[in-house]
Amino acid sequence: TRRAAIGDLAAKKAAGEPIVMVTAYDYPGAQVAEAAGVDVVLVGDSGAMTVLGYESTVPVTVDEMIMLGRAVRRGMTRPLHVADLPFGSYEASDELAVTTAQRFVKETGCDAVKIEGGGRTVDRAAAIVAAGIPVMGHVGLTPQTAGALGGYRAQGRTADEALAVCRDALALQGAGCFSLVIEAVPSPLAAALMPRLHVPVIGIGAGPAVDGQVLVLHDLLGIHDGPAARFVKRYDGLRERMIDGVAAYAADVRAGSYPGPEHQYGMPEAESARLAE
Ligand code: KIV
Ligand code: NA
């Protein structure tokens, strides 16, 4: 089982094999993703919310994202490893974008970085690609700038908005992105766009016409409290199971039934006799 390469996604697209991507933010999460056989692991800035408890992805820092990325790297070998560049770490200039992307590659060992939006992000993507670092684009709902998009809501539901999403996607492809994420757009928009996109397209709330799907690990496993987006499918309810486990431990401690004999260390008879003197 060799480590995945950037070109594997294009090969899967060409073969018509769906690409499976999931987020991870730590060592066990990466181990689980690899053991489950996913193709791409994204160290998403959604970790700002899922594991760091921020109210949006905006506050998370480069240092925090690098700590998460290093933990993920230690937990897996084979999947393609993509790192989100956080808000404020790449937008202002090509130099900033390249310097930040280089830091992620050097310090986390990621294979590629992901940045959000069209507009000036297109130039940043081209600059990072020119520096030899593969870039994944991200269009549609872009959480780092959700405020400007009218909140966490689907994008491209009017013809004008849909054209803007198409323009961004094509410009990012033209800038050399090896792949695109398209988030929270009507399925007919994604379907209409696909014939013009030659790079692998990973959807989240973009319907079935795309080349693969991504979900946030904590959403699909049900580690979250609170409401989930329409596109989330919940495959487990780990939060409840984790609470039940910790509550059972608490009850055992309070009842005096933990620790049991099997959880205790013994001592040779002679030694405990001396101790009693
Ligand atoms: O941060 C994240 O989890 C993401 C995916 C939802 C694409 O960007
Ligand atoms: Na993200």
- 205 contacts 186 by C-beta, under 8 angstroms: no
How far apart are the CA of 270 and the centre of ligand 1, in A?
61
Residue 201 token pair = 């397209």
pLDDT over threshold 90, residue 1: no
Span 222-268, pLDDT tens digits? 998 788 999 999 999 999 999 999 999 999 999 999 999 999 999 99
Neighbours of 38 (CB within 10 A): 21
Neighbours of 114 (CB within 10 A): 24
pLDDT band at 102 (very low <50, low <70, confident <90, very high): very high
Average of per-residue pLDDT values in the chain: 97
Residue of 21, 41, 45 best suited for mutating to test ligand 1, as the one with most atoms within 8 Å of CB? 45
Mean pLDDT of all residues in 97-118: 98
ipTM surpassing 0.85: yes
- Ligand 1 pocket residues where CB is under 6 Å: 23, 42, 44-46, 84, 181, 204, 214, 216
Which domains does the chain carry?
A: 7-236 (3.20.20.60), 241-276 (no CATH)
Residue 39 token pair = 């193709």
Residue 107 token pair = 């310090």
How far apart are the CA of 130 and the centre of ligand 2, in A?
22
Residues tagged active-site: 183
